[in-house]
Structure 1
């Protein structure tokens, strides 16, 4: 079975009538996997599908949305494998020698 057969069978099972530009989807998934992380590829393709479906987008609009997503992936600033900044423990400076008498602090 080749990719075209798979797409046809999947569309039948999901009861979807659409034309699929697999090259467009694969290019987008490849850019996301390379520039963000591997697991972002199927999520990116899925979200493109949601966007296309919610707009009942024609092929030109689909290409425009895919280009936006691919551009974001290609400009992504964190290389694949880099830790999420929210998961990095920042070093807290030792200010035990500083007198904080009379200072107001907000609790987080």
Structure 2
């Protein structure tokens, strides 16, 4: 995790983000659930969409939890998994 800590700090500095505002483990949980429950390419896209919502002030406090639940229930909700295509 040392490299991940260094990268997070460097990326935050580059983007002008306070690293204390980044819940790295929660975002990693989100992307893991989306990658496994929906499709691998959906994981970074979901993280980006969450960032857009957060930046525009439209992300609810429970947005990550709601997205994780959505990903865990994807196969049940959609009837099928997306392929990585």
* Range into which the TM-score falls when normalised by the shorter chain: 0.7 to 0.9
1: distance between equivalents of 2:51 and 2:36?
Answer: 20
Greater relative contact order (CA < 8 Å, ≥ 6 in sequence): 2
Q: Greater Rg, structure 1 or structure 2?
A: 1
Greater helix fraction, Structure 1 or Structure 2? 2
Gap runs ≥5 in structure 2: none
> How many residues align structurally?
79
Going from structure 1 to structure 2, the CA distance change for 1:79 and 1:9 (only over 3 Å counts) comes to same
Normalised by the length of structure 2, the TM-score is 0.78
Question: Which residue does 2:66 correspond to in 1?
Answer: 68
The alignment yields a C-alpha RMSD, in angstroms, of 2.4
- Give the CA deviation at 1:81: 2.7
Gap runs ≥5 in structure 1: 84-108
Normalised by the length of structure 1, the TM-score is 0.63
